[in-house]
Each structure stands twice: as C-alpha cells, then as structure tokens.
C-alpha cells in the first residue's frame, strides 16, 4: 500500500469513527445516564415530610428492647439471623484492639466478656436501615421492587421482589436479609404503617433512655433537627456516599 493509500484509509477510518462517536454522544443526550440516581429528592416544600433518624450512642444502655419490639411489631422471624434493627456492643481494649459483639442482636442483653481492667472504653451502637437517599440497594434492585417513598423511606415491595439478593449484597450496613417465610428481601420500613398515621416507630417508642429519635428533617422544630443542632453527628461509612439519613451522636471511628 502506498503512503497516499494509507492516508486515504486513515481519513476514512477517522471519518467513520467520528460519525459513530458523535452518534453515541447525541443518543446519550436524549437518555441521560442516571446510574447514580437520587431516587427521591428532598422535598422543596417545607410542609412535606423527609424522614430521618437519630441515635445517641451516649444514651444507649444496650437493653435490646428496641430490637425485641421491632421483631414483635413487624412479625420478624425470631431466629437470631434476621434483624431489622439490632444493638452492637463495642469494647475498645487498652491495647487498641476492638471487640464487637451482638448476641441475638442484643435482645437478651449483653454480658461484658472483656475484664474491666483491659477496657479502654465500651459503648453500644444500635443499628438499623439508614434510609439512604442515594441508596445502593435501590440502585441495585433489577426490577425496582426496592424503592424510596416521597417522604424518604426505603421500602421493599414483597409482591414484586424476585429474591435475587443483589440488594443484600449492595447494602454496606448489613441491614437486609431474605425473609425465610416469604423468600423476598426484607428490611426496616421505619414502621411506615405507624409513622404514616402519626405514631412513632416501635423501637423509638420502647427506648427507655430516648437514645433513638425519629424525625422530620424538613421541619426545623422536629426533635431530630434539634438533636442534630446540639450534637456533632456523623453517619456510618460516609466515604461510600450513600446519603445515609441515620445520624449518630458520639460515633467512634471504630464503628463500622
């Protein structure tokens, strides 16, 4: 092939590549790529609710009543492998090592297994679905059975879920499980059946120390907003950018 011919075929190739490239760009303008989806945006109207949750680690005494009440209220299997909410006991030892325990999700209470002289500090961390507004689970669900309500609660449609378990893999917080009776993904609903009627969640209701706070993030007067103003609050695994709406006071760096 002469140099001229090579030049010609190159020009042809560049022309073709440019056409294909510009076609791709044009089509992508019509259907914007929305993988990182803000499934539901925070309502602009201040009268609309945007549910969030607060946990005051300093107040939690590890009684486990919340986890128990949740199982009763929501008819969760009693076996110790299925929890919509549970409590973890963190013990930081003097040598810097961390011991975490959550026997039966804390329902039966805790026994400190580390001798007192070895303990640097210890505390309880209640866990539940973080009702993220950039939820990895909602993003991953292949059929859209997991969704966010307009008021910011992540839910599962059990009549629609195919049980592929991708959402369980996608949740960084271990908040999902497969309901053994229904064979579908299950998780905290923030007691939607209660909060939509003006009640509070079962776990908040039974907490004897007010370590758990449910609130409307859109209402400046809500107890949650007050709690967040008065404390330095953090979310779990902030680097994953899940948009968690579960805010912890006194969250230690060891907690994952």
Partner 1 sequence: MEQNFQHLYDMLSQVQGFIYPNELDLQWGLLIVLYPYITGLVAGAFILASLERVFNVKVLGPTYQLALLTALAFLLVATMPLVSHLGHPERFYEILMTPHSTSAMAIFGFVYLWYLMVVLLLEIWFDYRQDIVIWSKETKGFKGRIYKILTLGVTDLSPSTIKWDDKIGYFITVVGIPSAFMLHGYVGFIFGSIKANPWWSTVLMPVIFLFSAMVSGIALVLFIYMAVSFFRKQKIDMPALDSIAKFLFYILVIDFTMEGLDQIHRIYEAEESFEILFLLVHGPLFLTLFVFQIFLGTVVPLISLGTLQLYKPSEKIRKIIYLSCSLLVLFGIFFMRWNVVIGGQLFSKSFYGFTGYKLHLLGSEGFLFSIIWVIIPFFILAFLLWLLPPWKKVGQHENN
Chain residues in the site for partner 1 (CB under 8 A) = 34-35, 37, 79-83, 86, 88, 98-102, 104-105, 127, 136, 138-145, 160-166, 168-178, 180, 182-184, 240, 256
Which residue, 61 or 184, is less far from partner 1 as judged by CB?
Answer: 184
Dihedral Cα 104, 107, 108, 111, nearest 10 deg: 80
Q: Locate 249 and state its tokens.
A: 């006071």
Whole-number minimum distance, CB 21 to partner 1, in Å? 15
Give 215 or 243: the residue with its C-beta nearer to partner 1. 243
In the complex, least distance from residue 193 CB atom to partner 1, rounded to whole angstroms: 22
Q: What token pair was written down for 169? A: 């893999």
CB of 191 to partner 1, least distance (A): 18
* Nearest CB to partner 1, comparing residues 217 and 236: 236
For residue 31, the minimal CB distance to partner 1 (Å) is: 9
Distance from chain centroid for Cα 220: 23
Distance CA 197, CA 14 (A): 63
Min dist CB 216 to partner 1, Å, is 27
**Euclidean distance between CA atoms 233 and 220, whole angstroms:** 16
173 to 45, 128, 155, 189, 198: CA distances (angstroms):
30, 8, 16, 15, 28
Dist CA 142 CA 161 (whole Å) = 9
Name the residue nearer to partner 1 (CB basis): 6 or 20: 20
Q: Which is nearer to partner 1, 28 or 196 (CB)?
A: 28
């Amino acid at each position: 092939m002469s140099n001229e011919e090579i030049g010609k075929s190159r020009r042809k190739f560049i022309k073709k590549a440019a056409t294909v490239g510009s076609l791709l760009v044009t089509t992508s303008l019509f259907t914007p790529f929305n993988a990182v989806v803000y499934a539901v945006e925070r309502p602009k109207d201040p009268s609309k609710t945007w549910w969030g949750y607060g946990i005051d680690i300093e107040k939690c005494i590890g009684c486990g009543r919340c986890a128990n009440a949740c199982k009763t209220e929501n008819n969760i299997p009693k076996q110790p492998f299925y929890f919509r909410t549970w409590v973890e006991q963190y013990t930081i030892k003097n040598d810097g090592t961390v011991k975490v325990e959550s026997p039966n999700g804390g329902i039966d209470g805790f026994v400190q297994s580390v001798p007192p002289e070895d303990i640097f500090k210890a505390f309880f961390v209640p866990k539940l679905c973080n009702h993220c507004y950039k939820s990895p689970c909602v993003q991953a669900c292949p059929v859209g059975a997991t969704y966010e309500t307009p008021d910011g609660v992540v839910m599962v449609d059990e009549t629609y879920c195919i049980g592929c378990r991708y959402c369980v893999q996608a949740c960084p917080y271990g908040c999902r499980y497969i309901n053994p009776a229904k064979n579908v993904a299950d998780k905290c609903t923030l007691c939607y059946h209660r909060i939509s009627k003006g009640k509070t969640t079962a776990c908040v209701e039974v907490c004897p120390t007010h370590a758990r706070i449910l609130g409307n993030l859109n209402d400046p007067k809500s107890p949650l907003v007050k709690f967040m103003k008065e404390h330095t609050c953090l979310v779990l695994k902030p680097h994953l950018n899940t948009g968690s709406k579960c805010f912890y006071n006194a969250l230690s760096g060891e907690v994952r």
